[in-house]
Structure 1
Amino acid sequence: MSTAKSVTLGDVASVAGVSLSTASRALNGGGRISEDTRRRVKEASDRLGFQPNALARSFALGRSQTIGVLTQNASGVFTAPVLIGATMELGRMNQALLIRDARFDAATLNENVARLQARRIDGVVLIGDGLNYSLPSVTSLFRVPVAYAFGLTSESDDASFNPDAEMAGRLAATHLLETRRRRIAHITAGLDDPASRGRAHGFGRALAEAGLEQVGGKPLSGGWTFEWGVEATTRLLASGTEVDAIFCGNDQIALGAESAIRAAGLSVPRDVALIGVDNWEGMITSDSARLTTIDPCLQDVGAAAARSLGADEAWSPGAHLVPCRLIVRSTT
């Protein structure tokens, strides 16, 4: 039985009407080649179904096309979407991955760093487990670019990518104002938490710009839990303070607040509108499909960090904020 002949780079060059070296540079993204030539070679490659040899490509580019991915807690509810976003983006960039998880153990992380140092890699993505956990800086340990996702290090020049917490607060306030709510409270975790503090700051500024002050003049601060949402909302309603909306620091708090509102004989959203932050299905029950929320777009965070290591991306140090997104449902 005969087998079909594999399409070669020479076949692509012949169809595109260019030299072998030009075809190579056009497909590998190198050299000074006109966009018209690059497009012609790409069209020929796609038409013929050409699949470049990964090893040959890495030699041609002088790179291994392999990225090391270090995680602090790969199975974490919030880490998982960041990791998915990073791996999907690296796959789109035709990069191979070496993934190693530390499970919050410093010794394991050091061992994983040493293992990557022994490999020929083109870059490193270190994924944390949220802004409340400080990431160790490993930038100086590698000769290749290092990007940090979903976490911060103590080094201001480290390139880090995180959800825009202030934007989350601003989006929540703006949406509630647009629904004609004017007596708006904010229930969140402790303001020593960077995410909680950022959301509270964006929320407060948006209200101030509209000439309003949040109910009570400041957030009700406690924890990230359903139980805190119940406790804080029960206390707020029992005080007799007029309130027609509550911005909750996360979806768990919002679900607790909803429970307390209904227990008080009030209706959501007719009497009190609710909005949370997260939109992560693994954290909440199926009933949460009713909840208006701010999606921190964690897959986008991972993708942005991965993309910063690409040859076509202008790598820049410092903190980078990734936009979040409002999802409107029935609680507003």
Structure 2
Amino acid sequence: MPIKIPDSLPATAQLEKENIFVMTEHRALHQDIRPLRVLLLNLMPTKITTETQILRKLSNTPLQIEVELLRTKSHVAKNVSEEHLETFYVSFDDVKDEHFDGLIITGAPVELLDFHDVDYWDELTRIMDWSKTNVHSTLHICWGAQAGIYYRYGVEKYELDEKTTGVFEHRVVKPSSPWVRGFDDRFRAPHSRYTNVRAEDIEANPNLEIIAESDEAGVYMAKSTDSRNFFVFGHPEYDRETLNVEYERDSKTHPNAPLPKHYYPDDDPTQPAESTWRAHAQLLYTNWLNYYVYQTTPYEIDAIGHEEAADDE
């Protein structure tokens, strides 16, 4: 099934080139089924790249999804044109009276700041508070996961001695969870961050559970036991070249920037990187959409926030 996005969004051409079924707004208007409404709060500076990466993951499902792009008003984006933001993005005031089946909160390059020093922290917490009554299920990614698990459950983040960057092996620790249905026992996933959360802090909270983790990179997937909030502390949406682009950027300002681990063949950055995580990344998004959004969200979208909490998984 297709993903429905604005006809002229830059990601549209790239996704169509990859033979991903993108439905035009005109065609979607003539369908009788209700699409899932997903709100994407894009906090990354490279907005168009992140849009494309996440829309690619949302598109490869048997569901019709209508995506709305959300930005913060309290932060001025420097790496994307104001025209793009005005054309394709909405602000929280535009959607605060609406309901959504899903919300995705992306990462952001602000990990070394205290949460309360981030210039849009108050706006972000307002959105997270609003999601309790207006969103059925929320997926938090990387810094968005650290921010979400801190604000919602009090789990702290800690600065690392060295940036965690690379593609790491993980193991599924709760194979009965539908979120990892179809996963291998061990799988690979990208990380890129200067801070982490600790497994013991998550395990100490009875409202949280760990789903997958890595010996090298730490906790990767965690969720609330009521299946309303999901946390991914890596970047499953990353393209093959993303870590390479980040490494080249970091190396310009930090000559001793750490080489992404297990990413380049023989750890040689002159060789093209290999993509070894796309299948599990796709399952992560597809399973979230299928088992925790589509199958449990109310058909009448205005009923979101009034329905019974999902059964523990």
Query: Would you say same fold, with TM above 0.5?
Result: no
- Structure with bigger helix share is 1
- Smaller-chain TM-score range? 0.3 to 0.5
Which protein shows a greater Rg? 1
Give the TM-score taking structure 1 as reference length.
Answer: 0.36
- Structure with bigger strand share is 2
